[in-house]
Amino acid sequence: MLQKLGRIPIGLTLPALAILLVVMGIPMVRLFLASINAPAFSLSNYQAFFSQPANVRVLFQTIEVSAVATALCVIIGYPTAYLISAAPKRLQLTLIVLVLIPYLTSFLARTYAWVVILGDHGLINTLLLNGGVISSPLPLIYNRMAVYISMVHIMLPVMILPLVSVMMGIDKSLVAAARSMGARPSAAFWRVFFPLSMPGVRSGSLLVFVICLGFYITPAALGGLRDAMLSTFIASQVQTSFNVARLAASAFILLAVAGVVLSMIGLDLSDTQGRTAQRTQRARQRRLPPFGALRRYFGEGADHYRAKRWMANLYQAGREDPWSILEILYIILVMTYLLLPGVVVIIMSFSAGTYLEMPPSAISLRWYRSFFQDPSWNGAAWTSIQIGAMVTILSTIVGTLAAYGLSRTSSQLRGSLTMVLLAPITFPSIVVAIAAYLGLVNLGLIGTRTGIVLSHSIGAICYVVVIVSATLATFDRRLEQAAKSMRAGPLQTFMRVTLPLIRPGIIGGAVFAFIHSFDEVVISSMVSGFSIRTLPLKMWENMRNEIDPTIAAVASLLMLLPILWLGALYIFWWRSRPQLQSVATV
Amino acid sequence: MRRREFLTTLSTIAIAAPYVSRRVWAQSQGELRVQLYGGDVGKANIEAYAKPFETETGIKVIPITDDISLPQLELMVTQNNVTIDVVAASPATNMVAAQKGYLEKIDYSIYRKEELDAILEFAKQPYGVAGEVYSWVMFYNEEYFPANKPRPTSWAEFWDVKKFPGVRTLETGQYGSEGPWEEALLADGVAADSIYPMDIDRVFASLDKIKPHIRKWWTTGSEVQQMLREKAADIGNCYDGRAALLIDEGAPVEITRNQAKLTCDYWGVVKGSPNAQNAQKFIEFATRAKNQAAFAQRIAYGPPNLNAYKLIPEERGRRLSTHPDNLASGILLNTKWYSEIGSDGLSNAERLRDRWNQWILL
């Protein structure tokens, strides 16, 4: 069966599409019909949307904020990922885990931490005031800059991880080869390494942009007076009137916007390296003819010096450069940015008072006790872990198959199928929640774990597909052909050749799948039927009125988990050094 | 009309799947699922209402601590999958849900006359009875406005940025159903008894004047609470319960109840609840003076049953929103006006929301 499916690559996407169809596909089609007033068919809901200038304005603002945040993520994330991928294996793993930590800090605790850091009497202002740098507090919070600071902070892991998994798959000897043939380091980078890393940039940007489109709580909490997003409007629509047809219209407009923007940056995630490189090459030639001529002119003149330098560099070609001071500083800076809010949360979690304070006036473990002694807290955590594990297994298998299938289909089909699979993270979560509810209620799955696992998996699959696709793009398919030529079956080839090579991408996808499930609140609250309590549901209860400081303790414990795991791994390495190589490839 | 449209929309959306049996929620007669909120309010609700109710009736109360949104209520009712019996909802949600037919009528026949007469008029609606009354009050930083200098006492003075300079914050109007509307009209000189029907143009003309001095439109109680602690604003409006908590913590915050805006959360029975009768009993139980007095001693929310004040120490009573003195100096939020639907099919709340969304982006 699997072998047969393997021969029709598109068949591998079937499990993912089937889950999507069952959970939200059919209700989504009905929602679409509702938005065009079927069976009477009219565009009145769309006209109503566009007739309000505020909607159009906020739509552009949403695109602008998301695009800027994505660009910032690329600018900060690319060098970070480059340095991580060039680091020694053990340091590399540590850095990857550290990069993931902001993503593990509960959303509520993180937003709270940013207020503590950026506020008028926050960490930065206090530091600057005490140092005599400024005389009155800088307005760091409640403006657009604060929105970007917090959005980029949370989105950086989503950008860095696909980049790292792609960069780790790039054959470094290609860069060395370019250098050995006289390319300057910058030329070797821009003309060899950079084009090869493009699939990672595309996957990362795509995920970041799409997720940013749906943001609204962070801009509301840290932004200024005008910082509304389309989802802010949608949320207030839901609260005051809840008109399904209007809501669906706004959701499909958002999906269309995402589709248009993404088709511009390229939906073709699995584009193979050769074609990308060729295209970039062609684009460069087309775009810059006068510069090209100019460069050739100067290039000829510089030949003599280049030849000299080539001789000097020849013997260094193979070695991996250790980081320079500048690069070390850069990594420290990025890591501080990524980890500071987490550190603040950990410190605040030891507050003795009834609320979170920074710095705590007295130290206590009361919020940890509150977590471990109250079954409504630790029970919810256990439920979330179990659900998260099931979601991870299901979506990693199904998502990897889909990514594999997509990489072997025609690029047009691939583009539209990718967009379909990405719908669950592109739509505002309230719309996905309504669709999932309608999809699951008829199967009797509301209020069941199966229901929650399925409804989380549709989003989790997106992460796996995007990240695995990026790794597959740098994957040399001739290795598979070689295996097959030696009489390995498709399954055997996949298990023994393809799978080990794309493992970084699969692990990255699995991590995000788990976190997606672990963090999900809107869909869970709809599908849980008030009978299943997940950790985020527990964290969000009574949010309108107060924040329970226990969330800081929970967030600290969550951050501690990967660090403990890392520590255990180091001990394991230290004790079994011969196995180093095989473990380090993880 | 509106409601029927709605139901047809939803039923077209739902997939007809007769071959799959709908999950029937097994609820025994001796059980009741009640939305009681989380946090301190939830604890007070359990101690003051749920536990004594179980003791008196033998009906087990299962507390639901999540907030419940309109879509959840709508989907439960229209999909015949009612998983909660009693909901506690804001006036806006209660009114819209009632209009759409998602709530049972309150059975006032089971109430004792002396209790019913003592319950505030606005707290007794056809589809909801108030559980607690809270208000939006003006707060200011004591250090910024010390006692030996003039302090702002009305919304007109709040708008007077020359006499009372300082960084301001007000609640966001993004939901329409609540926002700084009444405050804006009071500041503009509208008498407290002629606020409704609101002149929306006048509301925004007044807001135009204060907008440049606002630092942040806050969205949740926890947010404005943090702003107060961080001293991110010198003066603004916030929920009285949040302010009371901060004052107890020793924060330099003072409030004025003059021109405070009162509203309440309503208990309601979900349409199609298999335990509707017990649900009615629970709500009746929760509105008795004795139980409301116990609730108000645990958390600083006003009891809608004024007889409760006979059982509450005077000092505590003065801090609650429905104390006779505070009722006299405050104004009541007119939920009915907000849910009134005009000729264009929009409610006043939706009209305010749309206008706000446009105004905020200018």
Instruction: Output the six-digit token pair for A487.
Output: 């009489």
Q: Which residues are A184's β-sheet partners?
A: none
- Give the C-alpha distances (Å, rounded to integers) separating A320 from A85, A187, A317, A400, A474: 11, 17, 8, 32, 21
pLDDT of residue A267: 55
Which residue of chain B is at minimal alpha-carbon distance from A37?
A: B9
B102 touches chain A (CB under 8 A): no
Q: Quick check: helix, strand or coil at residue A519?
A: helix
Residue position matching structure tokens 């709530």: B103
pLDDT of residue A283: 43
Give pLDDT tens digits for B200-258. Answer: 999 999 999 999 999 999 998 888 988 888 888 999 999 998 898 889 888 899 999 99
Residue A346 CB coordination number (10 Å): 20
- Give the C-alpha distances (Å, rounded to integers) separating B356 from A52, A475, A511, B178: 12, 52, 41, 11
ipTM above 0.90, yes or no: no
Hey, what long-range contacts does A348-355 have (CB within 8 A, 24 or more apart)?
A348/A112, A348/A113, A348/A116, A348/A549, A348/A552, A349/A549, A349/A552, A349/A553, A349/A555, A349/A556, A351/A549, A351/A552, A353/B249, A354/A549, A354/B249, A355/A547, A355/A549, A355/B225, A355/B229, A355/B249
* N- to C-terminal Cα separation, chain B: 35
B179 touches chain A (CB under 8 A): no
Among the partner residues B12, B172, B349, nearest to A240 by beta-carbon distance: B349
Nearest alpha-carbon partner for B32 in B352, B285, B338: B285
Residue B267 has φ and ψ, to the nearest 5°, of -75, 145
pLDDT of residue B137: 97
Cβ contact, residue pair B22, A233, below 8 Å: no
pLDDT of residue A576: 62
Which residue of chain A is at minimal alpha-carbon distance from B211?
A: A225
Residues 6+ apart with CB under 8 A from B8: none
Count of alpha carbons within 13 Å of B140, Cβ hemisphere only? 22
Residues of B in contact with A529 (CB under 8 A): 81, 83
Same fold, B25-133+264-330 and B135-263+337-361: yes
Amino acid at A581: Q
Q: What would the DSSP string read from start to end of B166-186?
A: S-EEEE--TTSSSSTHHHHHH
∠ CA B9-B13-B19, nearest 5°, is 130
Instruction: Output the six-digit token pair for A427.
Output: 């739509």
Buried-state track B86-117, b at ≥16 Cβ within 10 A, e below 16? bbbbbbbbbbbbbbbbbbbebeeeebeeebbe
CATH architecture entry for B25-133+264-330: 3-Layer(aba) Sandwich (3.40)
Superfamily for domain range A2-273+327-584: MetI-like (1.10.3720.10)
- Give the C-alpha distances (Å, rounded to integers) separating A238 from B55, B72, B85: 38, 10, 22
Q: Which residues are B262's β-sheet partners?
A: B135, B332
Q: Which fold has domain B135-263+337-361?
A: D-Maltodextrin-Binding Protein; domain 2 (3.40.190)
Nearest alpha-carbon partner for A238 in B73, B219, B234, B249: B73
Residues of A in contact with B230 (CB under 8 A): 115-116, 119-122
Q: Which residues are A237's β-sheet partners?
A: none
Q: Rounding to the nearest 10 degrees, give the CA dihedral for residues A182, A187, A189, A194.
A: -130
Residues 6+ apart with CB under 8 A from A393: none
Q: Quick check: helix, strand or coil at residue A543?
A: coil
Q: Which helix (H) or strand (E) holds B239?
A: strand B235-239
pLDDT of residue A577: 55
Mean pLDDT score, B54-62: 95
User: Mind listing the pLDDT tens digit of every residue in chain A (586 residues)?
Assistant: 445 544 567 788 889 999 999 898 889 898 999 899 878 888 999 998 998 899 999 999 999 999 999 999 999 999 999 999 988 888 888 898 888 888 777 777 888 889 889 988 888 998 999 988 888 888 899 999 999 999 999 899 999 988 998 898 888 888 888 888 888 888 888 988 999 999 889 889 988 998 898 888 888 889 988 888 988 888 888 887 788 888 889 888 988 888 887 777 665 555 544 444 444 444 444 444 444 444 454 445 555 655 565 555 554 444 456 778 899 999 999 999 999 999 999 999 998 888 877 788 889 999 999 899 989 899 999 999 999 999 999 999 999 999 988 888 877 788 788 878 888 888 878 889 989 998 998 888 999 999 999 999 999 999 999 889 888 887 778 888 888 888 888 888 888 888 888 888 898 889 889 989 988 988 998 899 888 999 988 888 867 677 788 888 988 988 887 788 777 777 877 776 544 344 334 3
Confidence band, pLDDT 50/70/90 cuts, at residue B23: very low
A44-51 and A53-86 are packed helices; what angle lies between their axes, rounded to 10 degrees? Answer: 80
State the Cα–Cα distance between residues B362 and B214, nearest whole angstrom.
15
Decide if A411 contacts A498 (C-beta within 8 A): no
pLDDT of residue B26: 43
Mean pLDDT score, B68-73: 89
B174 touches chain A (CB under 8 A): yes
State the Cα–Cα distance between residues A119 and A125, nearest whole angstrom.
7
CA distance A202 to chain B (A): 32
Residues 6+ apart with CB under 8 A from B94: B103, B125, B127, B128, B266, B268, B335
Decide if B120 contacts B322 (C-beta within 8 A): yes
Instruction: Output the six-digit token pair for A580.
Output: 């180093």
pLDDT of residue A265: 67
Residues of A in contact with B42 (CB under 8 A): 541-542
State the Cα–Cα distance between residues A351 and A299, nearest whole angstrom.
64
Q: What are the boundaries of each domain within chain B?
A: 25-133+264-330, 135-263+337-361
State the Cα–Cα distance between residues A91 and A94, nearest whole angstrom.
5
Q: Which helix (H) or strand (E) holds B254?
A: strand B253-269
Q: What are the boundaries of each domain within chain A?
A: 2-273+327-584
Q: Which residues are B62's β-sheet partners?
A: B33
B1 touches chain A (CB under 8 A): no
Amino acid at A479: L
Instruction: Output the six-digit token pair for B349.
Output: 């709340």
pLDDT at B184 over 70: yes
Instruction: Output the six-digit token pair for A149.
Output: 């600071």
The strand pair at B235-239 and B124-125 is best described as: unpaired
pLDDT of residue B298: 92
Mutation for B interface: A528, A544, A547, A550, most B CBs within 10 A? A544
State the Cα–Cα distance between residues A216 and A230, nearest whole angstrom.
8
Confidence band, pLDDT 50/70/90 cuts, at residue B18: very low
Radius of gyration of chain B (CA): 21
Provide the mean pLDDT of chain B. 90
- Which residues numbered 41-100 in B keep a CB inside 8 Å of some CB on A? 41-42, 64-67, 69-72, 74-75, 79, 81, 83-84, 92-93, 96
Cβ contact, residue pair A545, B226, below 8 Å: no
Residues of A in contact with B37 (CB under 8 A): 541-542, 545
Q: Which range among A37-51, B180-194, B206-220, B293-307 shows the weakest confidence by mean pLDDT? A: A37-51
Cβ contact, residue pair A221, B241, below 8 Å: no
Q: Which residue did the predictor score with more confidence, B270 or A137?
A: B270
